[in-house]
Amino acid sequence: MLAVPTLIDLTLFPYWWLQLVAFGFGVIIGSFLNVYIYRFHTGKSLSGNSHCLSCGASLRWFELFPLFSYLILRGRCRTCGSRIPCRYFLVELATGVLFVLSLTLSLNIFIVILFWFIFSVLMVITVYDLYHFIIPDRLTIILTFSVLVLIGYEYLLLPQDWEVLTFRFLSALFGSAFLLFLWVISKGKWLGFGDVKLAFPLGLLVGTPFVFSFVVLSFWIGAVISLIVIGWQKLKRGQSRLHFAGRALTMKSAVPFAPFLVASGLVIIFTKLNVLELFSFF
């Protein structure tokens, strides 16, 4: 058996200290992810000063602090007063929280960093799909590769039978194939082909016993969020009564499904939820 050195023994540090460092690092990475998401789409280079997207005014040093600058500026540009999208704040906060939660998965520094990387990629995929209704293949490939590195490293730490690994790949493929089936019969109306591809690395990540729960939960989350969005849109149109029956329930052709897959995957990873157990109450 290969001896895998642990670079830093995180158990030597006080836990709250680790959480603080993880959160601080997470919000900083989150602010870089915001820049990456914006520039990935517009094709602008990643170098250069940060500036207001409306008036082009360069940001001063005190406006570059993640989370705090958004709160201090109350979501508006100091120069022109135009709104800064709240996703900047939310991405930073969510990344910080995910980085802290990663510590519950492992205290092996290499595994923690891999999870941080994986969650960062998932964050970009989620926001990108929300705004552009597409999941860039490049991101899915990076995600798949990093999940494979994680599985490989875990294998070095704790060698398993090849059947276990094979079954892990097969169940991820099965989850992906189920979405492919839905993609075919709905002619791409319920989800996109990018979601079919994304389900594979996510299925690999959650692991064999949880692929079923992962797929089912993504549809539950999707249904609940869709109902809320549909209801909210109806309220905005000034209709006092909500019509949840019939046509109102049908999903539009372009529903960004990746956020539901990612949300489901995250819930499963952190809670080890088995949806079948939910029915054991009845």
Interacting residues with Zn ion (CB under 5 A):
52, 54-55, 77, 79-80
Judge contact between 50 and 58, C-beta under 8 A.
Answer: yes
The b/e string for 185-207 (b: 16+ C-beta within 10 A; e otherwise) is eeeeebbbebbbbbbbbbbbbbb
Judge contact between 96 and 26, C-beta under 8 A.
Answer: yes
Shortest Cβ 28–Zn ion spacing (Å): 23
CA distances from 265 to 118, 122, 268 (A): 12, 10, 5
Per-position DSSP letters for 29-89, written without gaps between them:
HHHHHHHHHHHHHH---S-S--B-TTT-PBPPGGG-STTHHHHHTTTB-TTT-PBPPTHHH
Shortest Cβ 71–Zn ion spacing (Å): 17
Shortest Cβ 94–Zn ion spacing (Å): 25
- Residue 9's SS3 state is strand
Shortest Cβ 53–Zn ion spacing (Å): 7
Beta carbon nearer to Zn ion, 52 or 199: 52
Beta carbon nearer to Zn ion, 52 or 206: 52
User: Nearest to residue 249, comparing CAs of 190, 195, 196, 187?
Assistant: 190
How long is the chain?
282
Beta carbon nearer to Zn ion, 39 or 78: 78
Shortest Cβ 52–Zn ion spacing (Å): 3
Beta carbon nearer to Zn ion, 53 or 223: 53
Beta carbon nearer to Zn ion, 25 or 65: 65
Beta carbon nearer to Zn ion, 52 or 121: 52
Judge contact between 115 and 16, C-beta under 8 A.
Answer: no
Shortest Cβ 124–Zn ion spacing (Å): 24
